[in-house]
Amino acid sequence: MMTAIIYACKVALESIPNVELVSFLTIMYAITFGIDAILAVTVFNLLELVQWGPGTWWISYLYVWPLLAIITIVLRKKLGNEPLYWAMVSGLFGLIFGSLFAILYIPIDVKYAATYLISGLPYDVLHCISNFIIMLILFKPINKLLNRVANMENR
């Protein structure tokens, strides 16, 4: 179900450059369900492969989304349920998103990796801002909902 929601939200917003709920949902799932979030983003990655076919972007997805889940799992006890902290994490992730993809190109051609990174900076800034705002607005209601779901699972 987590993957289906991530995928549906991704498809719904894919016409708006770098405004997405994948980051938000990955963070929220990792806060609530821990390591299960990694499974959800892995299945999401497989759906992306089926829809779009293989490419270097997909190889990056294999480490980018699980990395966000792992970072969240590590930070969740320190940051607690403070929306501003999670908005900063989500915004920072949006800002470095292109850098995480550029890493893949370094062994191929450092100049290309740098060009890729620099040309994507305006989109990364937009990604940062949208991730920050989305997290601030949606954190509390979705956190409350996911905690209710988690409590129902534990009964």
Q: What is the CATH number of the domain that holds 148?
A: 1.10.1760
Domain hosting 13: range is 2-153
Digit-coded pLDDT (tens) for 108-125: 999 999 999 999 999 999
- In 2-131, where do the E strands start and end? none
Domain count, the chain: 1
What pTM does this model have?
A: 0.95
Digit-coded pLDDT (tens) for 44-69: 999 999 999 999 889 999 999 999 99
Contact 114, 102 (CB under 8 A): yes
